[in-house]
Amino acid sequence: MRVNTLLSHVALIGAAHALECSLSAIQSVLSLGASVNFAYPLDAGATFDTPSGDLGYPTDAVGLPALCAVSVQVQSINNSSYGLGLFLPENWNGRFLAVGNGGFAGGINWLDMGPGVRYGFATMSTDTGHNSTSFDGSWAYQHPERVENWGHLAMHGSVVTSKLITAQYYEKNITYNYYAGCSTGGRQGLKEAERYPEDFDGIIAGAPAWWTTHLQPWTNKVALLNLPTTAATHIPPALFPTIAAEVLNQCDSQDGLNDTIISDPMNCDFNADKLLCASNTTDNTTCLTSPQLETLNHIYSNWVNDNGTFLFTHMQLGTEGQWPLISGTAPNALGSDFVKFFLGLGPDWDFNTFTDEIVNLAESINPGNATVGFDLSAFEARGGKLLAYHGLSDGLIPTGSTPYFYDRVTGELEPKGIDIDAFFRYFLVPGMGHCTGTTADFNAPWYFAGPNQAPALGPEVYSVPGFQDKEHDAMLAMMAWVEEGTAPDLIIGTKFVNESTQAEVLRQRPLCMYPKMAVYTGTGDVNAAASWECTA
C-alpha cells in the first residue's frame, strides 16, 4: 500500500457546517431565480435514491460517506432552466469538484458524484437543462435556449451557484476548484477553460467531444461509408473481429513489443490488403472483398471534402472492438439527431440525403456555442492547469481529434510566448476504449481514476485501490500539479484481473505525456510499470 501523500497531509476539515442541511437553510443563501428542490442529510454508508425520471443518469450512488444531498433548479435564458445536484460531505477536504455529462444526456450525474465525494470534495453535477438519455437529441429541436444551456450556460451557472452554497454551508472559502469529465464531459471541461477561465484551478478533460460542428456530422459520415447493408462495399459486423485480429497482428509488433497492446497506431503502416480474399476462396467469413477493403480504407482515412479541406480525423487502427457507429442500419443518433434537431432539419430528415455541406450548416449555426475554441490564454494566465487524455481504441470519438486540438492551441498560444507544457498536458491511453475499459484482446492498463472510470469497476470504488497516490490517480495528479506545482510527466495505468479491484493487478504501465510514448526498457517484468520509460 502506497502512502497517499495528498490525502494524508491535507487533513480533512471535518466541517462543523454553519448551515443546516435543510431546504429552507440552503434556500436562504440563494437569490431569486434559484430554488431548492430538496436538501437532506444522508448517513455514512447510505444510498442516494436518484429522483425518479432522471433519464440521463438513473443509477443510484451507493455506499456514500455522510453528506448533505442538495438539488437546486436555476432559471436561465428565455424561460428555460437547469438543475444541479450537490453532495456536501461531513468530512470536507476544503475543495470543490464538478463532474461532467455524456452524449446528449440530460440529468444530474449522481453516480459520478459518488467517487468525488469519497475524496472529500463538495461535488456537483448539472443536468445541463434537459431530461433525456445520451442518444436522444430531440429536446434540442426549435429550442436554442436548451442547446445554449447544454453548450455551456448550465455548467457555468451551476458551478457559480454550487460554489456559493458550499462556501456558505461550511462558512469557509473553498481552497481549490476542480473539474473532471469525459466525452461530452471532456468538451464541457475545455469549454470552461476557454470561456469561464475563473471557474476552475484544475480541469481533467477525457476524450473531449470538443468539435461538435464536425464530430457530429462525422458520426453520420462514418456510418454512411458502410451503408447500405445490401451494398457490395458493406462490411458486416461479423467481420470486425477478423479485421481487429489483423490490425493487432500488424500494429502490435510494429510498436516494438508483442504484448497484445497497440501502443503506436498512429505510426502503424497497416497493409489492409492482407485481408483480401483469395480469388479462389469459398469462405467469405475470414477475409474481405475488394469493395469491402475500399470501405475499410475510408474508415481509417481522414474526412476530407471534395475541395481537399480537412473536415475530421479518422477512426484509429485498433478501435475495431468498439464500432457501434458503423455496425447499424442507420447512423447513430449522436449523428442523425444532431442534424435533425440541433441543425433544425427536422424529425423527418433522411440520412441518405447527407452531404459534406452539412458541416458548413453546422459551422454557420454552431449550436449552443458548444464547439470549443483554441484561445486558452485567459485560463493559462490565471494559473489554471489542464490535463487531457484520450483512449487510443476509442471507437466513438476519434483519438486524433485530441492531438489536433492540442496542436491548434499550441499554434495559437506559443507565438504569444506561452509555455504550453506548463499548463496543458495530454496523454494517449493505448488500448483504452471510450473513457473506460479495454477489450479482452488487449487487456490494456486503462484505469487511472479518470472521470467515469470508478463506477466501471464497481459502485463503491474511487481512486486506484492499493495505489492511492498521484502516480496512479489522475485526480491526485491534478491536485499535486495545482497545489504543489508538481506537473505530471506520466500517469501509471492499471489493469485489474477481470476488472475486479478485489483481484490482483494484471498489468501496470506508464501513460506518457504527448508526444512521448511508453517503451519497454528491455529488462524486467513487462507487466510492471518500472520496466517502462517514456521516450520521445
Ligand X SMILES: *[C@@H]1O[C@H](CO)[C@@H](O)[C@H](O)[C@H]1NC(C)=O
Binding track over 366-395 against ligand X, x by CB under 6 A: ---x--------------------------
The grid cell for 175 is: 481552497
Is 394 tagged catalytic? yes
> Judged by CB under 6 A, which of 238, 304, 381, 422 binds ligand X?
238
Stretch that binds ligand X, among 27-35, 38-46, 141-149, 451-459 (CB under 6 A): 141-149
Considering only residues 306 through 325, tell me which ones interact with ligand X, judged by CB under 6 A: 306-307
Q: In the bound complex, what is the minimum distance in angstroms from residue 487's beta carbon to ligand X?
A: 26
Going by the DSSP 8-state scheme, the letter that residue 120 receives in this structure is T
Return the number of the residue (265 or 488) whose C-beta is nearest ligand X. Answer: 265
Residue from 255, 264, 394, 469 carrying the catalytic annotation: 394
435-466 burial: b if 16+ Cβ within 10 Å, else e: bbbbbebbbbbbbbbbbbbbbebbebbbbbbe
Q: Give residue for cell 438539488.
A: 71
Q: Does 29 bind ligand X (CB under 6 A)?
A: no
Considering only residues 119 through 138, tell me which ones interact with ligand X, judged by CB under 6 A: 131
> Judged by CB under 6 A, which of 20, 356, 483, 533 binds ligand X?
356
Q: In the bound complex, what is the minimum distance in angstroms from residue 146's beta carbon to ligand X?
A: 8
Angle (nearest 5°) at CA 73 between 70 and 75 = 150
Q: In the bound complex, what is the minimum distance in angstroms from residue 489's beta carbon to ligand X?
A: 26
How far apart, in whole angstroms, are the C-alpha atoms of residue 43 and residue 63? Answer: 10
> Judged by CB under 6 A, which of 1, 32, 278, 440 binds ligand X?
278
Judged by DSSP in three states, 403 sits in: helix
Q: Does 357 bind ligand X (CB under 6 A)?
A: yes
Closest of 211, 220, 222, 217 to residue 360, by C-alpha: 217
| 317, burial (CB in 10 Å: exposed 0-12, middle 13-18, buried 19+) | buried
Question: Rounded to the nearest 10 degrees, how much is the dihedral formed by the CA atoms of 52, 56, 58, 63?
Answer: -120
Q: Does 269 bind ligand X (CB under 6 A)?
A: no
Phi/psi region, residue 498 (left: phi>0; alpha: psi -120 to 50; beta: rest), is left
Instruction: Report the sign of the C-alpha dihedral through residues 321, 326, 330, 334, in that order.
Output: positive
Return the number of the residue (180 or 464) whose C-beta is nearest ligand X. Answer: 464
Stretch that binds ligand X, among 165-173, 202-210, 316-324, 378-386 (CB under 6 A): 165-173
Q: In the bound complex, what is the minimum distance in angstroms from residue 218's beta carbon to ligand X?
A: 14
Residue nearest to ligand X (CB): 53
How far apart, in whole angstroms, are the C-alpha atoms of residue 120 and residue 96? Answer: 9
How far apart, in whole angstroms, are the C-alpha atoms of residue 379 and residue 200? Answer: 9
Return the number of the residue (485 or 522) whose C-beta is nearest ligand X. Answer: 522
How far apart, in whole angstroms, are the C-alpha atoms of residue 263 and residue 431? Answer: 7
Stretch that binds ligand X, among 96-104, 295-303, 356-364, 475-483 (CB under 6 A): 356-364
Return the number of the residue (201 or 394) whose C-beta is nearest ligand X. Answer: 201
> Judged by CB under 6 A, which of 17, 172, 408, 516 binds ligand X?
172
How far apart, in whole angstroms, are the C-alpha atoms of residue 334 and residue 61? Answer: 26
Provide DSSP, 65-113: PSEEEEEEEEE-GGG-EEEEEEEEESS--SEEEEE---TT-BS--HHHH
Q: In the bound complex, what is the minimum distance in angstroms from residue 238's beta carbon to ligand X?
A: 5
Q: In the bound complex, what is the minimum distance in angstroms from residue 55's beta carbon to ligand X?
A: 5
How far apart, in whole angstroms, are the C-alpha atoms of residue 531 and residue 529? Answer: 5
Return the number of the residue (77 or 422) whose C-beta is nearest ligand X. Answer: 77
Is 434 tagged catalytic? yes
> Judged by CB under 6 A, which of 171, 273, 363, 419 binds ligand X?
171
Q: Does 503 bind ligand X (CB under 6 A)?
A: yes
Q: Does 522 bind ligand X (CB under 6 A)?
A: no
How far apart, in whole angstroms, are the C-alpha atoms of residue 174 and residue 95? Answer: 5
Return the number of the residue (44 or 77) whose C-beta is nearest ligand X. Answer: 77
**CB-CB contact of 303 with 314 (8 Å):** yes
Q: Does 55 bind ligand X (CB under 6 A)?
A: yes
Return the number of the residue (27 or 229) whose C-beta is nearest ligand X. Answer: 229
Angle (nearest 5°) at CA 155 between 153 and 159 = 115
Provide DSSP, 195-211: H-TTS-SEEEEES----
Q: In the bound complex, what is the minimum distance in angstroms from residue 501's beta carbon to ligand X?
A: 11
The grid cell for 65 is: 460517506
Residues carrying an active site annotation? 183, 394, 434
Residues that bind ligand X (CB under 6 A): 53, 55, 77-79, 131, 144-145, 148, 171-173, 236, 238-239, 253, 256-258, 278, 280, 282, 284-285, 305-307, 356-357, 360, 369, 497-498, 500, 503
